[in-house]
Amino acid sequence: MEKKERLLLPASVKPVSYEVRLDPDFDEEKFEGHVNISCTVIDNCSYLELHCKSIKVNEARVKFKHDSWDVLDTVSYNEARETLKMELPQEIAPGDPNELHIILSYTGKFRSDLTGLYQASYETDDGVKHRIAATAMEPTYAREVFPCFDEPSMKAEFTLSIVVDESFVTVSNMPVEKSETLSVSMSTYVSANPIKCHTLLLTVKMFYLTWLAGGTAHGAIELWEWTKQNWERVEKEVPVDISSLFLGTALEGLHTKEQIQDVREFFARRDTKSYQMVLDQNLEGMENRRSWAERDISNVRSWLEGHGYL
């Protein structure tokens, strides 16, 4: 089979940062998005070309220095190249960094092939089906989530926000900057240092062990703090057999005497006999643990996937 040649975008513009906002509609299986891309002009150009697939742009504005142009009428799509092109009213030239801003509002549909932004579901022991939205942007699927410069050499900073119902939890492989309530919805902001588009990961789902994807001791500590603050929800929503695995894996990342004492005191104040076995197994000798066990994460994830929780 002949290998498809990968066509590169023009090198006249380089992204510096992205501000991406996603508003998913689970019932309609679609999402609305908004992206503001701050760029540096490298070479003279009269048009802009970005990667874009299965996305329809509804608003398009380009700001350069003191000028601002509505370029929606000039937007064209190239399905073969998986790009969109915007004609500029005048040629722009290199200058100071961050002088060019590409601002787009768009709509897209949840994918059914587990790429881009896709929707899936899982069923709990009580027969209730829960929905999940997640991203798979590697190697070149970021273009299915937002228009971008989807090439390995095009690293940039990211601020990603997503608006979902308060009953959902949003998880990313990048630090959460803040969360705020908007009516009955919640917007969560994720920020990242310069990375490639395809390395960004986002998951939106009901609370079920989503932190296991992180695989770091820092992630375990964040998970334990969240557990303490939301214990009633954990007891109510998470089956005991699953939450025991969840707690056991999380506790592998806690190794200081202060952290261990915090765990003991927390459960001493509650009737948690069902968790006693996993606590005894994981607290014993924790003072000597200094790293998050990748093998344990893999085992727990395999078990969860086999039982339909992931």
Residues 255, 191 within the same domain? no
Number of independent structural domains in the chain: 2
The residue segments making up the domain with residue 60 are: 14-197
Residues 18, 167 within the same domain? yes
Residues 184, 60 within the same domain? yes
Residues 81, 155 within the same domain? yes
In a domain, 8, yes or no: no
The reported pLDDT for the residue numbered 240 is 53
The reported pLDDT for the residue numbered 96 is 79
CATH number at residue 38: 2.60.40.1730
The reported pLDDT for the residue numbered 260 is 67
Q: Is residue 58 within 8 Å of 35, Cβ to Cβ?
A: no
Residues 214, 252 within the same domain? yes
Residues 100, 218 within the same domain? no
**If we measure between CA atoms, which residue out of 128, 204, 199 comes closest to residue 165?**
204
The reported pLDDT for the residue numbered 211 is 38
pLDDT, one tens digit per residue, over 78-106 is 999 999 999 999 999 998 777 899 999 99
Which residue is it, tokens 């679609």?
A: 30
The reported pLDDT for the residue numbered 140 is 84
Q: How many CA atoms lie within 13 A of 129 on its CB side?
A: 4
In a domain, 139, yes or no: yes
Q: Which of 164, 197, 230 is the last residue of a domain?
A: 197
The reported pLDDT for the residue numbered 125 is 64
The reported pLDDT for the residue numbered 151 is 86
C-alpha distances out from residue 263 to 207, 232, 266, Å? 20, 16, 5
Three-state secondary structure of the chain: CCCCCCCCCCCCEEEEEEEEEEEEECCCCEEEEEEEEEEEECCCEEEEEEECCCEEEEEEEEEECCEEEECHHHCEEECCCCEEEEEEEEEECCCCCCCEEEEEEEEEECECCCCEEEEEEEECCCCCEEEEEEEECCCCCHHHCCCECCCCCCCEEEEEEEEEECCCEEEECCCEEEEEEECCEEEEEEEEEEECHHHCCEEEECCCCHHHHCCCHHHHHHHHHHHHHCHHHHHHHCCHHHHHHHHHHHHCCCCCHHHHHHHHHHHHCCCCHHHHHHHHHHHCCHHHCCCCCHHHHHHHHHHHHHCCCC
The reported pLDDT for the residue numbered 77 is 98
The reported pLDDT for the residue numbered 234 is 63
Residues 212, 175 within the same domain? no
Q: Is residue 33 within 8 Å of 20, Cβ to Cβ?
A: yes
In a domain, 258, yes or no: yes
Which residues have C-beta within 8 Å of that of residue 241, sequence separation ≥ 6? none
In the predicted model, residues of the chain with pLDDT beneath 70 are 1-6, 122-125, 166-223, 226-227, 233-257, 260, 264, 267-310
Residues 73, 144 within the same domain? yes
Residues 193, 135 within the same domain? yes
Q: Which of 147, 163, 197 is the last residue of a domain?
A: 197
Q: Which of 197, 231, 257 is the last residue of a domain?
A: 197
In a domain, 5, yes or no: no
